[in-house]
Amino acid sequence: MRILTVLTLGSVLLAQDQLPSIKVDVDVVSILTSVRDKRGALVPTLQKEDFTILEDGKPQPIKYFVKETDLPLTIGLLVDVSGSQRNLIDIERSAASQFFREVLRKKDLAFLISFGEETELLQDYTGSPRLLTDGLGQLRPSSGVSGIHPGPVPTMGGPRGTVLYDAVYLAANEKLKGEVGRKVIVLITDGVDQGSRMTRNQAIEAAQKSDCVIYSIDYSDPRAYGPFNIGGGGGEGELRKMSDETGGHVYKVDRKHTLDQVFKELQDEMRSQYSIGYTPTNDVKDGSYRHLEVRLANKDLKAQARKGYYAIRPESK
């Protein structure tokens, strides 16, 4: 019987010194980018010469340029199971299972985390859609409240009901930091955080330091918040901030745009990406934040990429 792992910030922080470290080439900055035209359609046919990378406003020489099909993909799917999402879980199971069956290729890996009052690892790294589907089958609403408005529950340590930022931080810092290739976090949530120990900005920083992109699926059930929509939804701005800063995108599920359609669009985007690497002309590893900009020769096109990175100091020996 597979044992489920409950992820907590305390256990992660205490165990960090004991975790094996995986070395990566810190001299090369990698940028995962998607390009869209004026109509919002993806443009997957560009070449190296079409791109200019700027760090803190200064052009950088591109060291490598790779189409997405040449790089392995690691996906962390994070599913909100707080009380307000209970009516959506069955739909999420079905759509996510289909997504994994269609998007995962040889050498690709994925893991599954649910988050409500706590974060729980339902399936660790695997390339098996069947095991991921089994993990999705274990999604359960996380709420200590019953009644008309199920949702976050106040606790002695402050209200904890949807630890969204903690889940993003843990996925980035514990699961993705040492991985190589394309790394993405896919969030399914209404975007409302209640009770995280980490802030939104700390979650974003962890994602940036792990070189991972956050794709947000804004999915909410108006019925969960009562006739006056008290405390319901409203987290799209938070999701947009996390996605924009890391080079991702926010997808909105509504009556005209189903979750199945969103996953299809996300799948298309992952197959239309470019990975660009460069060695910074500023080679000082002082831990500072460096601003990034991706410019295109064709001004009618728009690049979607992370806004910056941290020039991490070398590990002391």
pLDDT for 238-277, tens place per residue?
999 999 999 999 999 988 899 999 999 999 998 899 999 9
Task: Please tell me the distance from the alpha carbon of residue 156 to that of residue 161, in angstroms, as a whole number.
Answer: 12
Containing structural domain, residue 214 = 23-317
**3-state DSSP call for residue 179?**
coil
User: What is the pTM assigned to this prediction?
Assistant: 0.84
Residue among 236, 245, 238, 234 at smallest CA distance from 212: 245
Q: What integer pLDDT is reported at residue 5 of this predicted model?
A: 54
The two beta strands, 5-7 and 119-126, are antiparallel
Q: What is the pLDDT of residues 47-97, one digit of tens each?
A: 999 999 999 999 999 999 998 766 889 999 999 999 888 899 999 999 999
With respect to residue 166, please indicate whether it lies within any of the assigned structural domains. yes
Q: What integer pLDDT is reported at residue 220 of this predicted model?
A: 86
Task: Calculate helix-pair angle for 89-103, 129-136, nearest 10 degrees.
Answer: 170
- φ, ψ of residue 257 in degrees (nearest 5): -140, 90
Helix (H) or strand (E) holding 233, with range, is: none
Q: What integer pLDDT is reported at residue 168 of this predicted model?
A: 97
With respect to residue 11, please indicate whether it lies within any of the assigned structural domains. no
Low-confidence ranges of the chain (pLDDT < 70): 1-26, 69-70, 143-160, 224-234, 313-317
With respect to residue 303, please indicate whether it lies within any of the assigned structural domains. yes
With respect to residue 226, please indicate whether it lies within any of the assigned structural domains. yes
Q: What integer pLDDT is reported at residue 83 of this predicted model?
A: 86
Domain count, the chain: 1
Contact predicate 74/184, CB 8 Å: yes
CATH code, 315: 3.40.50.410
With respect to residue 7, please indicate whether it lies within any of the assigned structural domains. no
With respect to residue 8, please indicate whether it lies within any of the assigned structural domains. no
Assigned token pair, 168: 């993003």
**Other CB atoms closer than 10 Å to residue 278's CB: what's the count?**
20
With respect to residue 13, please indicate whether it lies within any of the assigned structural domains. no
Residues paired with 114 in a beta bridge: 79, 120
Q: What integer pLDDT is reported at residue 187 of this predicted model?
A: 96
Residues paired with 183 in a beta bridge: 74
With respect to residue 203, please indicate whether it lies within any of the assigned structural domains. yes
